[in-house]
Amino acid sequence: DIQMTQSPSSVSASVGDRVTISCRASQDVSTWLAWYQHKPGRAPQLLIYSASYLQTGVPSRFSGSGSGTHFTLTISSLQPEDVATYYCQQAKDFPPLTFGGGTRVEIK
């Protein structure tokens, strides 16, 4: 199975800062990649699909980029409500599909 590695595992930033999360695939997944936001006790929320497409209703401060083996999720201006864990997910040649290990975002 394709392995997904996220970095960093956690990040602490100030309100208004730009936050970047990396996701690397163990092999080429083209743009078959999605990003999710998960807050404890809540349903995970789809942010980005097909590497760079913003899901309807998601604030424009979230953006995704990359293709092949390296992907990035960017929060352009961190807000208090963005405190959560973020996961990438690949589905090249589904099945299977695999998630990254997660990146916890906190406010400094």
Partner 1 sequence: QLQLQESGPGLVKPSETLSLTCTVSGGSISTTTYYWGWIRQPPGKGLEWIGSLYYNGRTYYNSSLKSRVTISEDSSDKQFSLTLSSVTAADTAIYFCARQEFGGSWHFDSWGQGTLVTVSS
**Binding residues for partner 1 (CB under 8 A):** 1, 31-34, 36, 38, 41-46, 49-51, 55, 87, 89-91, 94-102
Q: How far is the CB of 4 from partner 1 (least distance, A)?
A: 10
Q: How far is the CB of 56 from partner 1 (least distance, A)?
A: 9
CA distance 51 to 102: 16
CA distance 30 to 52: 12
Q: Which has the closest alpha carbon to 2: 99, 105, 106?
A: 99
Residue 68 or 102: the one with the smaller Cβ distance to partner 1 is 102
